[in-house]
Chains A and B, each alone.
Chain A
C-alpha cells in the first residue's frame, strides 16, 4: 500500500519558486531519501508534507486521503505524522519526559499516567531513561536529537519525516542518532529522510530522490542513483559531496 503520495506540488516564497512540481510516492514500511544541494527544496518539501507550509498547487495524499484539501483537519493530519528537525527544536521549558508526553496528552488526549508510562518505555529503548527529568539544555546534541525522535515516535506516526537530523551534530555524535534510525528501519517505520550522509542513504534507503532546483530530476534504488547516476547534475552533486572524481 502507498503511505504517502505527493502529486505535482508547487510552492513559492514570494516570487521565488522553491518546489517546481514534485511527484513522489512512498509505500508502507519504505524508507525514502531526499538528497540534493543546499537550497534545492528538501526541507520545504518535508514541511509541506507535514502541512507546516501550505502548498500552492498539487495534492498530498496520506493513506489515500487528500490532506491538502481545504476541508481537511490539519491538526488531525499532523497527529498522524512525525517530523524531526535539523535543530531538534525541543521545548526548552519542559523536561525530557514532558517534551515527549506533550503531544500524546494534549493532542491525542491520552491520560497522563499512560502517556508517561509509554514515554518512559520509549526513552529507555533509546538509552535515555536517566534523562527523563532533565531539561534539554543539560543534554548533548546527540541526546537532544534522540529525544526529538522519541517525541515524534510517541505520536505513533504513520510516516516519519526526518530533516537532516545529523547535520547539526558533532561527528562523534552522528553514529548514535543513525543507529536509532537503523532500528526504526528494521522495525518497519515508513520514513522520508532528507540527508547529506550518502553512505547512510545507500545503506538504509529503498529509493533515493535527487532534488535540484525544486524538481526531482533522478530517482531510483540507491545503487543506481548513487553509484551510476544518469543525470550530469546528479553526478556533479555526488562528486562534490563525496569528493570523488
Chain B
C-alpha cells in the first residue's frame, strides 16, 4: 500500500502515531532546555556562585586529584569484586540451609537462621571495627593482619546475611507444586533444590541481587575507617592538602561511573521481568 506522500506501508493511523511521537519528543526537548536554562541562569546569578564553583568544581584541582583518586579507587574495585564472589556463594549456601526441610538438617537450619539474624542486625561499621581492629589485636600466629583483608571479610559477613534473604525470597516464590513435580520424577530433596527450585529462584532475584551489589560497591569506602586508603579517603587527603572540595566531587563522579550503569541495568532487567510477568502465560 502506498499513501499520498509516497511512503509505502503506513496506514493513516500509523502516520498519526508517528506524528504524535515526534511531537512528544520535541515538547520534551524544548521543556528540558527551558527548565535547565532557567535553573542555570538563576544559579549562576546567585550570590556565592563563584565560591561554590571554585570550591567544588575547580578544573585544575579536579584533574590533579583524579590522578590520585583513580589508583585508590582500584582498591574499591578489587575489594568489591572479591567480596562479591564470596557473598554470592555464602549467601546461596545460607539460603539453601535455611530452606532445607530434612529433620536431620535442623542444626544447619538453626545456624543459618541465627547467623542471618545476627549479621543483619549489626551495622556494617561495627563489624568492620570488630574485625579490622579486633583480630590484629589478638596477634594470632599465622593470621594475617592486613586491614584490607579483614575489611573485605567484614563486608562478606554482613552482606551474605542480606543477600541470603534475597535468595530465600526467590526460593519461596517457586511454587510448592514444582517441588512436588521434582520429587515425583524421583529426585531427592537436594536434587529438587538444585535442578528445579534454585534455577527458577535465582532467575527471579537477579535484579534484587544487582541492587545489593550497587550498595556494596559504595560501601567499600567504609574500609577507610580501619586504615586502608581507598577512593573516598584519598579524596579527603587531597582536600586537606588543597583546602578545596573538588576532590570529593571527583571521587563521587568515579563512583557514579560504576553505579549508574549498574542501576540502569537493574531497571532494565526489572522492567523486562515485569513485562514478562504480565504478558507471559502462567508457568
Q: Which residues of A are in contact with B by a Cβ distance under 8 Å?
A: 47, 50, 52, 75-76, 78-79, 82-83, 85, 87, 89-93, 102-103, 106-108, 136-137, 151-152, 154-155
**Is B184 in contact with A92, judged by CB distance below 8 angstroms?**
no
| A106 vs B184: C-alpha distance when bound (angstroms) | 12
Report whether A78 and B191 are in contact in the complex, using a CB–CB cutoff of 8 Å.
no
B contact face: mostly helix, strand, loop, or mixed: helix
In whole angstroms, what is the CA distance A91 to B178 when docked?
7
The interface bits of chain B over 187-206 (1 if a CB of A lies within 8 angstroms of the residue's CB, else 0) are 11001000110011001000
For A50, list chain B residues within 8 Å (CB).
Answer: 184
Q: How far, in angstroms, from A112 to B186 measured CA to CA in the complex?
A: 16
Q: How far is the CA of A103 from the CA of B187 in the complex (A)?
A: 7
A93 engages B180 (CB within 8 Å): no
Query: Would you give the 0/1 interface string for B156-191, flagging 1 where the beta carbon is closer than 8 Å to chain A?
Result: 000000000000000000000110111111111001
Indicate whether B281 reaches chain A with its CB closer than 8 angstroms.
yes
Q: Is B9 an interface residue (CB 8 A)?
A: no
Q: Are B191 and A137 in contact (CB under 8 A)?
A: no
Q: Beyond A78-B186, A107-B187, A155-B186: 8 further Cβ-contacts under 8 Å?
A: A50-B184, A52-B184, A76-B186, A89-B178, A102-B182, A106-B186, A151-B185, A152-B184
23 A-B pairs in the complex with CB atoms less than 8 angstroms apart: A52-B183, A75-B183, A75-B186, A75-B188, A78-B184, A78-B185, A78-B186, A87-B177, A89-B177, A89-B181, A91-B178, A91-B181, A91-B182, A91-B196, A92-B200, A102-B182, A102-B195, A103-B187, A106-B187, A107-B186, A108-B186, A137-B283, A154-B185
Determine the interface band of chain B, counting residues with CB < 8 A from chain A. Answer: 20 to 34
Residue of A nearest to B200 (CB): A93
Residue in chain B with minimal CB distance to A77 = B186
Q: How far is the CB of B167 from chain A (nearest CB, A)?
A: 16
Tell me how far the C-beta of A46 lies from the nearest C-beta in chain B, rounded to whole angstroms.
Answer: 10
Say yes or no: is B107 at the interface (Cβ < 8 Å to chain A): no
A76, A83, A108, A137: the one within 8 Å of B184 (CB): A83
In the bound complex, do residue B283 and residue A92 qualify as a contact, i.e. CB atoms below 8 Å apart? yes
Most buried by A among B177, B185, B191, B195: B185
A152 to B183, CA, bound (A): 11
B6 is an interface residue with CB less than 8 A from chain A = no
Residues of B within 8 A of A90 (CB): 181, 283
Would you give the shortest CB distance from B104 to chain A, in whole angstroms?
A: 14
Residues of B within 8 A of A75 (CB): 183, 186-188
- 5 A-B pairs with the lowest CB-CB distances in the bound complex, closest first: A103-B185, A107-B186, A79-B186, A92-B283, A89-B181
Residue of B180, B191, B203, B281 touching A89 (CB-CB under 8 A): B180
Which of B180, B186, B203, B283 is close to A52, meaning CB atoms less than 8 Å apart? B180
* Residue in chain A with minimal CB distance to B276: A137
Q: Which A residues lie within 8 Å of B200 (CB)?
A: 92-93
Q: Please give, as numbers and ranges, the residues of chain A lying within 8 Å of B199 by CB-CB distance.
A: 93
Within 8 A of A (CB), among B105-121: none
Q: Mark B216-236, 1 if CB is under 8 A from A, else 0.
A: 000000000000000000000
CB <8 Å contact, B185 and A107 = yes
Q: Report Cα–Cα, A89/B186, bound state, in Å.
A: 15
Residues A136 and B283 in contact, CB atoms below 8 Å apart: yes
B142 interface contact, C-beta 8 A: no
Tell me, yes or no, whether B280 is within 8 Å of chain A by CB.
Answer: yes
Q: When the two chains form their complex, are residues A82 and B281 in contact, meaning their CB atoms are under 8 A apart?
A: no
| Minimum Cβ distance to chain A for residue B173 (Å) | 13
Instruction: Determine if A102 and B187 form an interchain contact, defined as CB atoms under 8 angstroms apart.
Output: yes
Q: Bound complex: CA of A48 vs CA of B86, how far in Å?
A: 41
* Residue of B181, B182, B188, B283 with most partner-chain A CB within 10 A: B181
Asked if B281 contacts A137 (CB within 8 A), the reply is yes
Residue of A nearest to B202 (CB): A93
